[in-house]
Amino acid sequence: MQRLSSRAARAALAGLLLCAGLAVAAFAAPAQAAALQQDNVYLAGGEVRSPGPVAGDFVAAGGRVRVDQPVGGDLLAAGGAVDVRAPVQDDVRAVGGDVTLASRVGGELFAAGGHVALRPGAAVGGPSTVYGGSVSISGKLEGPLEIAAQKVTLDGEVQGDVRIAAEDIELGPATRISGGLHYVSAGELRKADGARIAGAVTREAPAPAQAQAQGFGGSGAQRAGDGSVRASAVSYLALLACGAVFLLLAPRLAAQASRRVARRPWAALGAGFATLVAVPLLAVLLFVTLLGIPLGIALMALYPVLLLAGFVVGVLYLAGLLPPALGRALPTRFHARIGWFALALLPVLLIARLPVLGGLAMGLVSLAGLGACGLELRARRRASGGGGGRGVRSAQPAGDAPRHA
């Protein structure tokens, strides 16, 4: 239990380091040309790609992050999609909607995302911790492996013990585990012919209160509590990283939309509810027309992103209420804005755990933010004569952010 607690602490620290790296990226982005000549490189934008071999650390945030040049130090990346295809000498910390690793990592690996994949060319020299909706592991991992997900497919080599908490677990024919396998699941794992496990295989059925958290270690109520705390910590760090990416990519939109919630809360809620209903309905109508199927698919793919953006803007509105209440000036720079966002996010997630009221509060926050984003984008189109506007820019200097959070 002590070892697992320390692993969870390291995972939390990794997330905090990631957010700290994003803060540095905000100041480095306006001077990318100068940063490329340094040992460490910090980049942010809609699409970020390795500028060349990096001697030190590489910190990147964007809609899509692609690492295809060697990194001599640590890699910290956050984005809608994170693709690592070049060797990283030290540790890798990656958070995204899709996280893909197809290269050598000299140190530890921490990855969290909707889908996390370690391709056959992946190799990790230290311990690996992976959280995701679906996780697929190939390649070779030289340290112990810990996974918490809904679905796990393991078809690679692990030099050490493996611990998995998931609803669906499958071991492919290329699976080689030199240690033992301990898994927490409501059902039995599926093991293909050829899969080999040197140590003992133990299964633990999740307790009722633990079924959603899917935690490790301990027994009874202690296991449920540990799993719940770990799941909550990962959710907090993931949402904090999403907030940081949103503030980096669209600082003006974030600030102006959050102010719209304050000025016109009922209008924002109404617009958010209309968007919530209209987007799926429009997608269905596009599917019916046949010719509009590609656009309908794209619209449904963007739907979760819109909901997430609405939640982030709603929390930013709450974060903007805190400085005046505490007698502080409204923040103007990225590091201060993400700090207030982190402070506001914590009570929001705590309230979300309450039955009925928690879900209602989360829904109102998300709808208000979603509607405010729609109203702000509509106002920009009108101001630009029907064009797309120029208010949202990638890698914008943090100092140019508006004076209101």
Q: 97 or 367: whose pLDDT is higher?
A: 367
The DSSP result for 272-318, as a single string, is HHHHHHHHHHHHHHHHHTSTTHHHHHHHHHHHHHHHHHHHHHHHHHH
User: For residue 258, what pLDDT is reported?
Assistant: 82
CA dihedral 98, 104, 109, 110 (to 10 degrees): -10
Least confident of 13-27, 39-53, 138-152, 227-241: 13-27
The DSSP result for 116-170, as a single string, is EEE-TT-EESS-EEEEEEEEEE-SEE-S-EEEEEEEEEE-SEESS-EEEE-SEEE
Cα 152 to Cα 318: distance, rounded to the nearest angstrom: 37
Amino acid at 377: L
The DSSP result for 211-263, as a single string, is TTT---SS-HHHHHHHHHHHHHHHHHHHHHHHHHHHHHH-HHHHHHHHHHHHH
User: By C-alpha distance, which of 93, 63, 61, 102 is closest to 80?
Assistant: 63
Task: Note the residue count of the chain.
Answer: 405
User: For residue 288, what pLDDT is reported?
Assistant: 67
pLDDT surpassing 90 at residue 162? yes
Q: Which residues contact 164 (CB under 8 A, 6 or more apart)?
A: 146, 147, 148, 152, 154, 181, 182, 183, 184, 185
User: For residue 108, what pLDDT is reported?
Assistant: 93
Phi, psi of 324 (to 5 degrees): -60, -35
User: For residue 72, what pLDDT is reported?
Assistant: 92
Please name the residue that has the structure tokens 């992946």: 122
Q: pLDDT digit string (tens) for 225-238?
A: 444 555 667 777 77
Phi-psi region of 402 (alpha: psi -120 to 50; beta: other; left: phi over 0): beta
Q: Is 257 exposed, middle or buried (0-12, 13-18, 19+ CB in 10 A)?
A: buried
User: For residue 404, what pLDDT is reported?
Assistant: 38
Q: Is 405:258 a contact under the CB 8 Å cutoff?
A: yes
Q: pLDDT digit string (tens) for 204-222?
A: 877 654 444 444 444 444 4
Q: pLDDT digit string (tens) for 379-402?
A: 888 877 654 333 333 334 333 444
pLDDT surpassing 50 at residue 37? no
